[in-house]
Amino acid sequence: MTNLKSLYETKPIVSINENYEIEDFNLVARNLFPKIKKGEKCYKVFFNKNLPCPFKDKYEECPLKNLTEKKNDIFIKLFNNNFYLVESIKENKSKVNVLFLTNIEKIINKFKFGDPLLFKKFVEKLSKKLSENEHVYISYIKIENFQDIASTKGLEASLWSSYTFRNLLSYFSKKFNIEFFSLSDHEYLTFFNIKKNVNPILLEHEILRELLIFEKKALEKNILVSTLLLTTKIAKSNINLVKDGILEAFLSLRNSEIVEKFVQERKGKQILKLDPIKLKEYIEEKRKKIDILERAIKNKSVIPYFQPIVSTRDKKIKYLEVLMRIKDKDKIYSAGYFIEELLLHNFIDLDIILLEKLKEYKSQILSLNIPLNINLSHKQLANFNYRKALWEFINFFKKENPNFTINLEITEQILFRNYKFISLLKKEFENLKFAIDDFGAGYSSLSLVADLAKENLISMLKIDGSLVKNVKNNPTLKSILKAISIFSQELNLECVAEFIENEILELIVDTLGIKLGQGYYYSPPKPLEDILCEIKSHKK
């Protein structure tokens, strides 16, 4: 009989024999069903019925009587005013059915599935795919700013966007053999039917390219469209589709509000609706930027720059933050010039090229033996291509020097909205460290930070520059910085003050107990060659 202790103990688990009798259960199941006992008929415990499975409505159908040929089945049932996804697994030898019950109330509400039946259909589809393949690639594709289009450009623009988007997905379906699962008229979940001769990395790349073409077509109609593609890989498993939060972690990515500030900014300017001249200028500037970025991808004209994070006491470089620069027609552009395009559109290739370029500096970087800080955005985190490239990049340096440190800088928004996904990433990448960027910008949950620090998930807090640059004559900000300094020390986290622009700011943060600083007072972002020259000159 199944050993329940070896299974997933945080979920209610019940073993049932072929006579519908309960053979065993765990403590969590007893808490959900206080009257449960061995030998009791399962249908009486679960459904308060005296006959086996006499019902079949849209939420309830007993999976046990349908397991003569199938190994798995699922259904959804309301227990104690909460919806549960019930997964049934038939054991070949002992003929014992094991039921895993997962409370999906939070998933339904948090990820906006609406009717539980929609979530049931999604899990059924996923379960079927996993029964046919060793692993399944799932993507979530949506028009990120669909509501913004409707409110600023009107019904006609939103209908055009929705119709064109749907046609694009139909094209994907035929060309790439992808099945789509509709959540609304502007968001879809996909299941890649990966064949042996199909590379999922290249497939995702093709989809991203087509999405960008769709965005450019919208620009021709003066409609600003931002699409989003999130991809994850789920391995084949006979039990518990939401085990370890993998599915929930993926779904949490679709609820991000990273781009909300740009949507609000455009609304605030009212350039989309009220001022045709400004709109024309905005569109032309946007097209220019997209053309530059597309050329940069084609020519791989990405240059890594580095900005030091230094000790406020001895000015020694402790870390180097990697920043992207774009070279186009002998002109160097800061990534900040393209900030909206990089966040709202599908230019993940640039981030992957940056990682490849960093490999070319391997010998210089390792000779410095200074840890690298690499920024990780929401779209990078969600992109399967980038995660694979990041994995290869980390392994590339680890093979040369197992003790070499790479920190991933993530914003508070990303961490707190996707911390389960970050946790899974941490498990995947051994010895990886995370730094929270823009700490104190208004999203903080101090208790969560403390918990993650204790789990060794984060190692550094980078204080938001807006708090630092205005601290000089503001006692309240000084108190906040002091509190953050004490907080980081208690948790054994390194603390960095950004936007150090002069000696006075350095002195203030140092007296507040903050030992690391970053800003133009120390150095602007520079090519690695310039950093190396400065270090050599200091040694002399």
**From CA 346, how far away is CA 111, in angstroms rounded?**
23
- The reply to whether 307 and 251 lie within a common domain is no
Tokens of 59: 């939420």
- The reply to whether 118 and 84 lie within a common domain is no
Residue showing tokens 């690298």: 372
**From CA 387, how far away is CA 221, in angstroms rounded?**
34
Tokens of 448: 């969560």
CB 239 within 8 Å of CB 260: no
CA angle 239, 244, 246 (to 5 degrees): 90
**From CA 242, how far away is CA 11, in angstroms rounded?**
10
- The reply to whether 218 and 322 lie within a common domain is no
Of 85, 103, 121, the one marking the end of a domain is 103
Flag whether 157 is in a domain.
yes
To which H or E segment does residue 137 belong? strand 135-143
Flag whether 278 is in a domain.
no
- The reply to whether 135 and 215 lie within a common domain is yes
Flag whether 490 is in a domain.
yes
**From CA 512, how far away is CA 515, in angstroms rounded?**
9
Flag whether 144 is in a domain.
yes
**From CA 449, how far away is CA 419, in angstroms rounded?**
10
DSSP 3: -
CA angle 126, 129, 134 (to 5 degrees): 115
Q: Rounded to an integer, what is the distance from CA 245 to the centroid of its chain?
A: 13
Tokens of 18: 């072929």
Tokens of 398: 């680890």
- The reply to whether 213 and 348 lie within a common domain is no
| pLDDT value, residue 267 | 43
Tokens of 393: 């990049």
Of 58, 82, 103, the one marking the end of a domain is 103
Q: Rounded to an integer, what is the distance from CA 254 to the centroid of its chain?
A: 8
Is the pTM for the entire model greater than 0.85?
no
- The reply to whether 79 and 165 lie within a common domain is no
Number of structural domains in the chain: 3
CB 255 within 8 Å of CB 112: yes
Residues 6+ apart with CB under 8 A from 212: 290, 294, 345, 346, 347
- The reply to whether 85 and 150 lie within a common domain is no
CB 372 within 8 Å of CB 320: yes
Sign for the pseudo-dihedral over CA of 205, 207, 209, 215: negative
Helix, coil or strand: residue 19: coil
**From CA 61, how far away is CA 45, in angstroms rounded?**
15
**Maximal C-alpha separation, the chain:** 89
Flag whether 281 is in a domain.
no
Residue 118 exposure: Cα atoms within 13 Å on the Cβ side:
15
Helix, coil or strand: residue 417: helix
Q: Going along 440-492, which residue ranges are E strands?
A: 460-463
- The reply to whether 13 and 39 lie within a common domain is yes
**From CA 467, how far away is CA 488, in angstroms rounded?**
16
Of 45, 71, 103, the one marking the end of a domain is 103
**From CA 371, how far away is CA 352, in angstroms rounded?**
19
Q: Using only C-alpha atoms, what is the Rg of the chain?
A: 27
Cα separation values, 362 from 229, 260, 355, 369, Å: 31, 37, 11, 11
Residues 6+ apart with CB under 8 A from 185: 162, 166
Helices (H), 239-347: 246-253, 260-269, 276-299, 339-344
- The reply to whether 126 and 90 lie within a common domain is no
Sign for the pseudo-dihedral over CA of 333, 339, 343, 344: negative
- The reply to whether 138 and 246 lie within a common domain is yes
| pLDDT value, residue 168 | 87
Flag whether 448 is in a domain.
yes
Q: How many CB atoms lie within 10 A of CB 43?
A: 20
**From CA 186, how far away is CA 167, in angstroms rounded?**
11
Ranges of residues in the chain with a pLDDT under 70 are 1-9, 51-75, 91-96, 106-115, 131, 192-201, 232-280, 282-283, 343-346, 382, 413-431, 441-445, 538-540
Residues 6+ apart with CB under 8 A from 48: none
CB 409 within 8 Å of CB 375: yes
Read off the CATH number of the domain in which 482 is found: 3.20.20.450
CA torsion, points 495, 249, 137, 324, in degrees to nearest 10? -20
Read off the CATH number of the domain in which 243 is found: 3.30.70.270
Residues 6+ apart with CB under 8 A from 42: 14, 16, 20, 21, 22, 64
Flag whether 81 is in a domain.
yes
- The reply to whether 486 and 340 lie within a common domain is yes
| pLDDT value, residue 263 | 44
User: Which structural domain, as residue segments, surrounds residue 403?
Assistant: 301-539
Q: Per-residue pLDDT tens for 211-239?
A: 888 888 888 887 888 787 777 666 665 44
CB 369 within 8 Å of CB 403: no
Q: Would strands 516-517 and 494-497 be described as parallel, antiparallel, or unpaired? A: parallel
CB 491 within 8 Å of CB 450: yes
Read off the CATH number of the domain in which 99 is found: 3.30.450.20
Helix, coil or strand: residue 114: coil
Q: Would strands 317-328 and 82-90 be described as parallel, antiparallel, or unpaired? A: unpaired
Flag whether 266 is in a domain.
no
Residues 6+ apart with CB under 8 A from 115: none
Residue showing tokens 């054991």: 91
- The reply to whether 370 and 493 lie within a common domain is yes
| Exposed / middle / buried, residue 100 (Cβ in 10 Å: 0-12, 13-18, 19+) | buried
